[in-house]
Structure 1
């Protein structure tokens, strides 16, 4: 049996291509009712397997090689040249022993008959399908045996090459490199057979009949020739398409058994011909019968193989979940089973030209060129079409050999198209069109599932991206930045710098120029940061006008500050924003690892502290300083404890009496906050009041003080002590626009008159926001609440401004009262304060009275009220009530 698998026509026009496909990432997505096919990076290569065992996706192509050897056609040509050269060299060795020409007309006729037999047997072959190609089986072993046993081996070689070449050229219409390779292979096979037969003495003269030596020679020659063919065909497939073809060489060598059988027929025929030349005609009849029977068996086997391949196709699709797996599987298997040169998926939508994904060799070409003619349009409208039953082309176009069927893809319109049937495939018949429709139905389901899965994954990826990135700038957000910094610390030796920057006066830009300009400014900042750290670090937007950068350093403060200076210089370059040009300044805080922290959260917090220090000092750039960090873990823990105490109403309200220095009668009391920490005991007010103001807890603390003070005052009134109560307000309290409503509600709930409540404020709190504070004071004054200036004499307000405030009382600071009996200058200040207050129509209160001398002097100067340790220390509510029962009741003066 002469067996040849030939190189595929899509590259060099032969019978078989075993393409080694790359697996690019292919995205198939719906766009406005259409489906777009776009490429992405290829997956790692995989080894190609037999059809029944191949994985879901075709394997990837081997890495591209440079030079002329990278082109498959050139590798095949080199192999053909090598085979031809080897055949010529071996033929020359045969020629050295001489050439015995046939004697007489009978010998010449026999030589011509052999040549015709070689041409006939080479032209009429049986093709057994193997993927897109076929094994070409012929019976040329029989005339080869007849020739070797009757003619000079070199003449047999010449007859075989001439006849075989004619059969390939005329009967099988082979051209180009395909013809060259097959002729070289025929020459190599025949010359190897002739040389082996000659060397083993099979053609020795004088031997009567076929002896053992001749039988060994002829069988060895035919089997070795078949081995040469198997190795050569395996080599050409490996060089052209699939280096893994060498794994299948052992199975290819099993064909030598058939070769031995055909050799036996040839030997029997030679023996019969030696007795009667006409018996050769019977041998020809036998060969024809064998060829027809074998062709029928092969056709039946091919049909079974087709069913198996269709099952393998569905199995492969079931195992392919990704679009980059499904699309190559569909095109590869369709191209194989329909034995087509080209397989395509054509997709159209309501707008725009068709989109084409094409396979005509290794790999899928996405966004391929659309053919200039559209013979497949009926398939896009839902009707199968093949060029055998339509006017296949437009006028002037090349004839088309193809078939197309609808590809069900939901809302999109698609077609599965094959073009260029292989020469030995029989064309695209109606049966093959039905097979293509079945494959298209399976492919449509698989592509639809993969498209849905891809869309879900893309949506999940988009959501994950949105969860980790800032929508305006596209930079990582705080959470993602912290993760990236932790990863960098873990993988980079634990050293680097976090730079946290804040755009100075950004609120003014937003207010003056609008949010569109503000957003454009932030986007420009993000772009500059991204460009500055690209490839070396990470930039992020933490929120508002606050950005963060991570850059690797040697871990020193100097290196971190140098990085910060570079960043500031980059940002402070003039920024063109639309028609405007903005000069930007930023405050940058630096925290370096591992000195200032070993994790991202700590480094960001410390860089934030440094940034605010840079902003407050207008330094522009500051490194983290532990001594300036008020947000220590202990302080944060204390704030948490304070919040819990306020929520549980665990803070105690103490009351310090206010008395008339002239009569000693109790007039009122000041409510003072006291906190007994469960672990640390009493916490001084000077410690927890600033904590409350800094952490935003001052409002609930103030509301708690107001409620307790007013309820206590109501209880005293029920016992006959109609006192007023004073509560301190923080600077932030004056900016609380809801404060008057809250005070009014508490007064109503406790049944207290507005004049029974005094709210004490400091001069500095008024000066922090004069206009806002004045508005709140006027609303409280209108409500009837008394207002007092606390720590009078230590502030910096002018007398003119003080005169315009709606206040009722001034309170002389304790720093002047405590040395009143020892320092004449303090006495002068107190005397002046009392006189000034009375001149302005205000009550004057002195705090810090700690001895009888001070009380006597204050009474003599006309001070209206006093409070201090000499009168009483601050008392708990029950203790104050008990102390109050022994005091004379003071008749209140009109407010």
Structure 2
């Protein structure tokens, strides 16, 4: 930071104050002083003597330090008293201003706004003193006791005015807190009493003999040197006290920033400098530069390198540097001191001050010694502070690791529970959403843990972006995330948030050249409805999430019945494994009808499970159980094997039928699926064209790139591929066009009401037209009545299936039904 110069803002404020004081002096002198008249003194003090006296007393002043400010105490009261008692006020003002210019500019070397302010101050003092004396004693103050008292009063008031104005200018320019130190600035009032008394004695003596002025000069010189010596001794004691106060201020558990601020403040104040700077080694080969200037403004910056030619560089090598004013010019500074600051681990910092204040000529050796003493204390405190900073950072890191997930940076389960309990302690309603990524294990197994970790990071970022400060997103571990939403009171609002998050996860996530979809299952609970503490809420949200996953519901709000089913589900997994091993899973077949001919051209194979205790178990319950327990592969192979064997028997009976088998979402991730299908086709003796594999729209779009490899291999075998439940996913038509699909099945939710709902009819019409445009066979499922069949035939749907044609039938029943079947050309 360069030195503050010219008409920068602090100087501009001082200049404005000086101008205001000058105007006030002219106005006051015109109104109250100019016509006050001459004092009754037949033998006035010569103006030349007053001029010399004013110049000398202003030029050789004693400075009283008040922190960074300086109050100049002079013997100017002596010539001022002589002038008040013997000289016209206007002449007195002119002589004092001229003498002030000589003393301040020539003898003390003042320039700029500082000189301007001091001249304005002299004008105010002279005018105010003359005006107050005229008000108290009239135009002709006498030299009797009453006159002495009046002169003493006005001189004291003049010094008070000067102290107030000097304090004001320091506060404007540098330190607004300077007003607190005004009482110390008034410590020169006893000297004013002495000098005024000398002035009065001198006035009486000079009335009798002009040669008394020689005695006055001797007394004045002796007083000046005596007071200056006393002031130096006093300031020496004060300096020791300030150094002691400095060491006390550094005591305590301060961090590096707190120590640096104290060090820089004290360095500027005690060294009488415009600015101070502390340079410290930073992390990773950087440097921290802390600069203090102006109104105790602290500027901190981190730099990668330090200038090699800087004047303070020797201090980094342990050598103090002194640059005095008037010597060689170094950069933007006029003078400066830099000293080394040894730190822990052998590192060295630099403490420097630059641009001494006008109340000292320049920095000297005594300042270097004082600065080294400050630096020694600073060194110890900075070393301790840096160690404390390291300890605090280590503790903070451990606390962070204990409360936050290291992979995503999100709060972990412990932190989430604490936040939830805090909300409940405040009786704040809230919703907890617990979510799990579907098929995340497949990502780790197929693509590696690095891809899996990046997927988790991006999922966390996407959830935070979607929540957008409305709540807290956490990661519990694995592929499990949670969201805490305060002030959620209704199921509808919570479900809307859950649906929004689920939809956000449907958009592909780019990881390198891969594009993955992170579909989620979400369980929702509300407090206080579903629980009053974090543990209960999270446990019940987990139950709801599991139900959402097993039922493919996506989002589910907790219901009490869910908890009662949890033990049943655990037992059902074991029973399902045993049923698959014993081939107790029954495969039934639902016919597919060709609308143009009324002929049955195929059938869809469906799995059914009759539990020995619980009876019929719906597919919507046991299929998710199989998917999430690792049983879906043997179940799929069992259905596929039975279906191909039955298809072969139908074809031997003369029925040229195809069979459709559903594939689970995980099936396309299995690299050996095409080889297994090819083997089973060969074992059954069924041509590949007689097998249709149905895959849900969302299954294909979860990983279109990965799915395409498997689909292409199946297509090469001659197997037909169908999109099941078309219209319920988020597929891209462009992507569908690229996939080797033969058939498209319209979901039953659009089919069942086309006879009564024109909107569903429009959806089906558009789907049929789209399928035909893509050269696909279009199948409609869920045909429950003749009117629906009639509308589908009119719309050009190729194949239909549903209870109106036939319910799903066991293999033997299907064969009997097929033998007795006649074409349904009439739609009856």
**Normalised by the shorter chain, which TM-score bucket?**
0.5 to 0.7
Following TM superposition, by how much is the alpha carbon of 1:352 offset from its aligned partner in structure 2, in angstroms? 6.0
The CA distance in 1 between the partners of 2:612 and 2:486, in whole Å, is 52
- What is the TM-score of this pair, normalised by structure 2? 0.66
**Among candidates 52, 57, 67, match of residue 116 of structure 1:** 52
The CA distance in 2 between the partners of 1:388 and 1:541, in whole Å, is 62
Following TM superposition, by how much is the alpha carbon of 1:447 offset from its aligned partner in structure 2, in angstroms? 0.4
The CA distance in 2 between the partners of 1:177 and 1:372, in whole Å, is 35
Partner in structure 2 of residue 742 of structure 1: none
**Among candidates 59, 68, 80, match of residue 132 of structure 1:** 68
Superposed CA offset, 1:62-96 (max 9, x none): xxxxxx9x944343333323322221111102455
| CA separation of 1:272 and 1:103: change in aligned 2, threshold 3 A | closer
Deviates more, 1:580-589 or 1:550-559: 550-559
**Among candidates 77, 94, 112, match of residue 158 of structure 1:** 94
Partner in structure 2 of residue 773 of structure 1: none
| CA separation of 1:385 and 1:254: change in aligned 2, threshold 3 A | closer
The CA distance in 2 between the partners of 1:311 and 1:561, in whole Å, is 66
**Among candidates 202, 223, 226, match of residue 156 of structure 2:** 223
Following TM superposition, by how much is the alpha carbon of 1:274 offset from its aligned partner in structure 2, in angstroms? 0.7
Following TM superposition, by how much is the alpha carbon of 1:245 offset from its aligned partner in structure 2, in angstroms? 3.4
Partner in structure 2 of residue 578 of structure 1: 512
**Among candidates 397, 409, 428, match of residue 462 of structure 1:** 397
The question of whether the paired residues in 2 share the 8 Å contact of 1:375 and 1:393 is answered with no
The question of whether the paired residues in 2 share the 8 Å contact of 1:115 and 1:160 is answered with yes
Partner in structure 2 of residue 445 of structure 1: 380
After TM superposition, the structure 1 = structure 2 runs for residues 786-825 of structure 1, keeping only pairs within 5 Å, are none
The question of whether the paired residues in 1 share the 8 Å contact of 2:34 and 2:89 is answered with no
After TM superposition, the structure 1 = structure 2 runs for residues 636-715 of structure 1, keeping only pairs within 5 Å, are none
Q: Does 1:376 align with 2:312?
A: yes
**Among candidates 471, 478, 481, match of residue 544 of structure 1:** 478
Partner in structure 1 of residue 24 of structure 2: 86
Following TM superposition, by how much is the alpha carbon of 1:283 offset from its aligned partner in structure 2, in angstroms? 0.3
**Among candidates 218, 228, 231, match of residue 285 of structure 1:** 218
**Among candidates 245, 248, 255, match of residue 188 of structure 2:** 255
- What is the TM-score of this pair, normalised by structure 1? 0.61
The CA distance in 2 between the partners of 1:258 and 1:143, in whole Å, is 15
**Among candidates 537, 540, 543, match of residue 609 of structure 1:** 543
Partner in structure 1 of residue 82 of structure 2: 146
Deviates more, 1:233-242 or 1:139-148: 233-242
**Among candidates 415, 430, 435, match of residue 496 of structure 1:** 430
Partner in structure 2 of residue 837 of structure 1: none
Superposed CA offset, 1:595-626 (max 9, x none): 21222222211111111111111111111111
The CA distance in 2 between the partners of 1:254 and 1:144, in whole Å, is 20
Q: Does 1:270 align with 2:203?
A: yes
The CA distance in 2 between the partners of 1:302 and 1:488, in whole Å, is 59
Superposed CA offset, 1:673-711 (max 9, x none): xxxxxxxxxxxxxxxxx799599xxxxxxxxxxxxxxxx
Secondary structure (helix, strand or coil) at the match of 1:345 reads strand
Partner in structure 2 of residue 342 of structure 1: 275
The question of whether the paired residues in 1 share the 8 Å contact of 2:488 and 2:526 is answered with no
Q: CA RMSD in A?
A: 3.6
The question of whether the paired residues in 1 share the 8 Å contact of 2:437 and 2:519 is answered with yes
**Among candidates 328, 337, 355, match of residue 403 of structure 1:** 337
Q: Does 1:232 align with 2:165?
A: yes
Following TM superposition, by how much is the alpha carbon of 1:457 offset from its aligned partner in structure 2, in angstroms? 0.5
| CA separation of 1:389 and 1:364: change in aligned 2, threshold 3 A | closer
Superposed CA offset, 1:429-475 (max 9, x none): 22322222222111111001000101111111111111111111111
The question of whether the paired residues in 2 share the 8 Å contact of 1:202 and 1:217 is answered with no
The question of whether the paired residues in 1 share the 8 Å contact of 2:39 and 2:140 is answered with no
Secondary structure (helix, strand or coil) at the match of 1:365 reads strand
Structure 2: give runs of 5+ residues left out of the alignment: 586-610, 618-633, 639-828
The question of whether the paired residues in 2 share the 8 Å contact of 1:763 and 1:795 is answered with no
The question of whether the paired residues in 2 share the 8 Å contact of 1:99 and 1:155 is answered with no
Following TM superposition, by how much is the alpha carbon of 1:128 offset from its aligned partner in structure 2, in angstroms? 2.6
| CA separation of 1:453 and 1:564: change in aligned 2, threshold 3 A | same
Partner in structure 1 of residue 123 of structure 2: 187
Partner in structure 2 of residue 211 of structure 1: 144
Following TM superposition, by how much is the alpha carbon of 1:243 offset from its aligned partner in structure 2, in angstroms? 3.9
| CA separation of 1:694 and 1:251: change in aligned 2, threshold 3 A | farther
Q: Does 1:558 align with 2:558?
A: no
The CA distance in 1 between the partners of 2:216 and 2:319, in whole Å, is 51
Partner in structure 1 of residue 767 of structure 2: none
Q: Does 1:533 align with 2:467?
A: yes
| CA separation of 1:162 and 1:299: change in aligned 2, threshold 3 A | same
Secondary structure (helix, strand or coil) at the match of 2:337 reads strand
Deviates more, 1:548-557 or 1:110-119: 548-557
The CA distance in 2 between the partners of 1:607 and 1:78, in whole Å, is 69
Following TM superposition, by how much is the alpha carbon of 1:275 offset from its aligned partner in structure 2, in angstroms? 0.8
| CA separation of 1:203 and 1:288: change in aligned 2, threshold 3 A | farther
The CA distance in 1 between the partners of 2:389 and 2:340, in whole Å, is 22
Secondary structure (helix, strand or coil) at the match of 1:277 reads coil
Partner in structure 1 of residue 630 of structure 2: none
Max radius of gyration: which structure? 1
Secondary structure (helix, strand or coil) at the match of 2:301 reads coil
Partner in structure 2 of residue 386 of structure 1: 322
The question of whether the paired residues in 2 share the 8 Å contact of 1:202 and 1:218 is answered with no
**Among candidates 431, 437, 454, match of residue 520 of structure 1:** 454
Superposed CA offset, 1:734-786 (max 9, x none): 9xxxxxxxxxxxxxxxxxxxxxxxxxxx65565599xxxxxxxxxxxxxxxxx
Partner in structure 1 of residue 802 of structure 2: none
The CA distance in 1 between the partners of 2:488 and 2:333, in whole Å, is 71
The question of whether the paired residues in 1 share the 8 Å contact of 2:40 and 2:140 is answered with no
The CA distance in 2 between the partners of 1:422 and 1:144, in whole Å, is 28
The CA distance in 2 between the partners of 1:421 and 1:380, in whole Å, is 22
Structure 1 or 2: more helix by fraction: 2
The CA distance in 1 between the partners of 2:124 and 2:101, in whole Å, is 13
Secondary structure (helix, strand or coil) at the match of 2:299 reads coil
**Among candidates 418, 422, 425, match of residue 487 of structure 1:** 422
| CA separation of 1:230 and 1:428: change in aligned 2, threshold 3 A | closer
Q: Does 1:358 align with 2:291?
A: yes
The question of whether the paired residues in 2 share the 8 Å contact of 1:161 and 1:186 is answered with yes
| CA separation of 1:82 and 1:308: change in aligned 2, threshold 3 A | same
The question of whether the paired residues in 1 share the 8 Å contact of 2:429 and 2:528 is answered with yes
The CA distance in 1 between the partners of 2:307 and 2:224, in whole Å, is 41
Following TM superposition, by how much is the alpha carbon of 1:256 offset from its aligned partner in structure 2, in angstroms? 2.9
Structure 1: give runs of 5+ residues left out of the alignment: 1-8, 14-67, 636-689, 696-729, 735-761, 770-789, 802-895
The question of whether the paired residues in 1 share the 8 Å contact of 2:55 and 2:103 is answered with yes
| CA separation of 1:768 and 1:82: change in aligned 2, threshold 3 A | farther
Partner in structure 1 of residue 761 of structure 2: none
The CA distance in 2 between the partners of 1:439 and 1:694, in whole Å, is 78
Partner in structure 1 of residue 348 of structure 2: 413
Higher RCO by CA contacts (8 Å cutoff, separation 6 or greater):
1
| CA separation of 1:602 and 1:281: change in aligned 2, threshold 3 A | same
Following TM superposition, by how much is the alpha carbon of 1:328 offset from its aligned partner in structure 2, in angstroms? 0.6
The CA distance in 1 between the partners of 2:616 and 2:162, in whole Å, is 110
Q: Does 1:434 align with 2:372?
A: no
Secondary structure (helix, strand or coil) at the match of 1:473 reads coil
Corresponding pairs, count = 592
Secondary structure (helix, strand or coil) at the match of 2:360 reads coil
The question of whether the paired residues in 2 share the 8 Å contact of 1:203 and 1:214 is answered with no
Following TM superposition, by how much is the alpha carbon of 1:325 offset from its aligned partner in structure 2, in angstroms? 1.4
Secondary structure (helix, strand or coil) at the match of 2:245 reads helix
The CA distance in 2 between the partners of 1:445 and 1:246, in whole Å, is 33
| CA separation of 1:348 and 1:550: change in aligned 2, threshold 3 A | closer
Following TM superposition, by how much is the alpha carbon of 1:297 offset from its aligned partner in structure 2, in angstroms? 1.3
